[in-house]
Structure 1
């Protein structure tokens, strides 16, 4: 197995462990020969995860007998934990085990949790009888299995995409082009897995039985492990070093203490992180060697430069919370060819989002990117993220406009007969398919922002901190999800107090509320965030050749020798540029 050394001048090792024994890889495509195993693993894992999580709230209410509110809370806690445990998985990958071992160990934990969950649904003693509350043993078995799964996801979410990107040698022009395609196809297979889960597996759970519906995701997770192991002989590995979190903390604190002894820090030094250079003046002992090398300090600078981008992408993940509830208040009946009607589940409109992503990713990868390159306007990472945020704001405004239209129809008594009423009030005679544009816009924004985030947090991080950097991207999703809950809670509390009738903007019966104003506020918040993001992005300094040379000493090799893996590879060829194409510096 080849290894890419992160703690010294990089060299490739063959399976026998001798540097230089491996022939150059220029004659074959990494994307087509190595990455299919990683993409197949991700497809199966995502199918397993969404097969479990999509219908979990229905399992808790229908089988475990929980109230809707408590079930929703349990699902939120489970989902939040799934986005917090990647911090542990990233730390282990970067500082102790490496990405390959971390993925393998946590995949087995994941598989164990899925098997236990399927067992709780298949064994009668672990499932409560109808109309009875579960026993402590039944609850313990269920939630133990769920949180074992949540722990297992922690080693996979931050590492699989980073491990896939590790396979590309950025000294090879073909690999440089293929790496951007890898992130696009990675997200493509994530959504293919999601699509199958929310259609086939959800149908099995509701129409066959829950035991089989949970056993299928467990089998998919087992298949994910087998596919990943099958590619082991071809994988490139990055050797872990010391804990990146500890290094960042030690460098920052040493530089801060050194600067305080030497005088005040100027605003320019703060902005450029030049004050961190003071850490190189600290000594292990008086007159001894420096405690931190120049390279270690430059690595910390790269991480800190990403933090403003991290903060300004959090709000992106607060959008779209009420699409399903809005759809439930619209006409969801469809005529069938042989007569009769079919009622579309409100959550099924999310398929429009998934299909949009699946169709748009190949279009973006094979048409848009080559056209922009030929035009001399390549889509930089921050520009891509920024455009996605703009589209997301547009989706919120589209949803607000649709809701205003729906409320006008309700005020005009254009509603379905009383038989069409549900727990959210009378259903307005407006087809739920009018939600398709906002779902498509959200899908388009994900093609830009979500995939752009994945590549940005990989490319801009030092090699030794890339799993932690990917965990940072997942942490933004976690914080955004919790922030969305906070926005909803406070908007509901405040507007209820201001409404004389006590409904507020977000009552259970949306016909009595003003969801359109809430969505309008979300769009406004996202627009403001786009402006802040642009201000941050135009000041961001991409990693350049100069940054690479500061943190890595590259040996000169003969032209026919295997090229070393560049440290800070892909963005060596990316010039600094503003995020928004319409704005010039």
Structure 2
């Protein structure tokens, strides 16, 4: 994973260098508008260079975040009990908290220092400074790679999922046995099918029709085709994904509300007086979200140092809050609270949900899918932003019909952002109710103990 992180960071560096060149070199950007009301549009080649940099950054950032989040917990000692003892769980939960706190410190720096350079020096200098930071990170990661604990790849998660679906399609008309131990599983014994052995998962009755992929037939014993017979653990991995997807979707809807800090809140900021300290400093509208980043870092620190120890003492248990409980802290203010208060509310919710989701997806995902599952969180952010943009477009179009000014006119003072925030409140409330129902009925992943009866049966198949 260290190699993958270096590769994705290299791609991100290339993207930042491309964007820096696009903002700096006269041939790669349109001329300044100056005092003219007419601005020369960018040429096709200039657009291609700029968007190439944007997409390279997106590819590098997405890959690096997904890899590094799963890479960190792997450095913890998992040898005793597979990482399921309380101490290891505490350390992993703490890792996710501090990871997000540090990430917000980075975003705070970008929202203040880099924005100041872009506003007061040049966009090219700001982008170039950011590119240099990423380049330093690549060098440091590559130089320290030998220090890390490197686990060998555990197989392709996508291939295993497809195998289960193909095997199920072959046996869809078969009847499931009443005894689940008659289904095929690999207990570490050498068998003719030679399925890869990872963690064994306990059988569950949810989505039981998929168990047909693990029914042993005479044809399976003859040819040993992995695409016709899967283990119970492989089937359970697919079931886990089916359980995670609905919870993941509620996270995506949550980010419709969360993304207001970078969209409508910034629009509101353009209509406010950003001067502070009696006019000595001026806060750009693009830096307003930095309040939330700062509050997140503070909340994470207080949570780890004060809230968790106090909760453990009061509740009398090692785990203060489960990941699903943390993920349930969601804002229903919708941005109606004014000033820095709304950033405080959003920060508390953002910190709780993010730490809970990262820990939840990592802990509940199959062994072969941990990198992919932790990437669900960032995919939820992207989907939430996409949903928000589509919602704004739809609301603006509908409310501006028949000649009305609508909720989003050019001059926000003539609009109704308050109505839009009420709509966000309603969406968030419904989404929260759905999440609570899903969390209460969620079936957690469990590792299976060896069953002597099942082991004897499977040794006969060897």
Shared fold by TM > 0.5? yes
Shift in Å at residue 119 of structure 1?
A: 2.7
Counterpart of 1:530 in structure 2 is 432
Identify the residue that residue 189 of structure 2 maps to in structure 1. none
Distance 1:259 1:371, change over 3 A: farther
Matched, 1:146 2:54: yes
Deviation readout 1:76-125 (Å, 9 max, x if unpaired): xxxxxxxxxxxxxxxxxxxxxxx222212222222222223223333333
Question: Residue by residue, what CA displacement relative to the aligned partner does 1:377-415 show, whole Å, maximum 9, x if unpaired?
Answer: 62001111012x1xx113x1xx33x5xxxxxxxxxxxxx
Q: Is residue 279 from structure 1 mapped to residue 279 from structure 2 by the alignment?
A: no
Cα distance in 1 for residues equivalent to 2:29 and 2:413: 38
Distance 1:274 1:138, change over 3 A: same
TM-aligned CA deviation for residue 533 of structure 1: 0.5
Residues 233 and 358 of structure 1: is their aligned pair in 2 closer, same or farther, counting only changes over 3 Å? same
Matched, 1:441 2:342: no
Match 1:382 to one of 320, 324, 346 = 324
- Aligned pair partner of 2:286 in 333, 339, 347: 347
Matched, 1:317 2:255: yes
Deviation of the 1:286 alpha carbon? 4.6
Inter-partner Cα distance in structure 1 for 2:160 and 2:50 = 39
User: 1:306 pairs with 214, 219, 244, which one?
Assistant: 244
Secondary structure at the aligned position of 1:507 is classed as coil
Within 5 Å, which residues of 2 pair with 1:196-275? 196-262=109-175, 272-275=206-209
**Match for 2:2 among 76, 97, 100?**
100
* 1:227 Cα deviation from its structure 2 partner: 2.2
Mapped pair 1:297 → 2:235: yes
Post-superposition shift, 1:295? 2.4
Structure 2-normalised TM-score?
0.80
* Deviation of the 1:166 alpha carbon: 1.2
Contact 1:114 1:145 in 2 (8 A): yes
Instruction: Specify the alignment match of 1:111 in structure 2.
Output: 13
Indicate the SS of the match to 2:400.
Answer: helix
CA distance, structure 2, for counterparts of residue 157 and residue 240 of structure 1: 18
Give the 3 Å change call, closer, same or farther, for CA 286–292 of structure 1 in structure 2. Answer: closer
Hey, what's the Cα distance between the residues in 2 that align with 1:173 and 1:346? 44
Distance 2:403 2:29 in 1: 43
1:168 counterpart SS class: coil
Q: Measured at CA, do residues 283 and 213 of structure 1 come closer, stay the same or move farther in structure 2, by a change above 3 Å?
A: farther
Q: Secondary structure of the residue that 2:404 maps to in structure 1?
A: coil
- Going from structure 1 to structure 2, the CA distance change for 1:146 and 1:248 (only over 3 Å counts) comes to same
> What is the DSSP-based 3-state SS (H/G/I as helix, E as strand, rest coil) of the residue aligned with 2:64?
coil
Question: Residue 109 and residue 550 in structure 1: after superposition, are their counterparts in 2 closer, same or farther (change >3 A)?
Answer: farther
Cα distance change of structure 1 residues 535 and 460 upon mapping to structure 2, 3 Å threshold: same
Aligned pairs (5 A) from 1:45-124:
99-124=1-26
> In the superposition, relative to structure 1, how do residues 548 and 169 fare at CA in structure 2: closer, same or farther (>3 Å)?
farther
How far the C-alpha of 1:147 sits from its partner, in A, is: 2.0
Equivalent position SS for 2:150? strand
For 2:192, the equivalent position in structure 1 comes to none
CA RMSD for the aligned pairs? 2.7
Unaligned runs of 5+ in 2: 34-39, 179-202, 452-462
The runs of 5 or more residues in structure 1 that have no matched partner are 1-98, 403-433, 552-585
Query: In the alignment, is residue 127 of structure 1 matched against residue 29 of structure 2?
Result: yes
Closer/same/farther in 2, CA of residues 299 and 325 from structure 1, 3 Å limit:
same
Equivalence for 1:40:
none
Q: Which residue of 2 aligns with 1:160?
A: 68
May I ask how many residue pairs the two structures share in their alignment? 405
1:461 to 333, 341, 365: 365
Q: 1:118 to 1:341 in 2, by over 3 A?
A: closer
Q: Secondary structure at the match of 2:76?
A: coil
Deviations 1:154-211 (A, max 9, x none): 3212111111111112437543321111101100110111111111111112212222
Aligned equivalents of 2:283, 2:376: Cα separation in 1: 37
User: Is the 8 Å Cα contact of residues 158 and 467 (structure 1) preserved in structure 2?
Assistant: yes
Kindly indicate whether the alpha-carbon contact (under 8 Å) linking 1:169 and 1:176 is maintained by their aligned counterparts in 2: no
- Which of the residues 298, 304, 326 maps onto 1:365? 304
SS in 2 for 1:238: coil
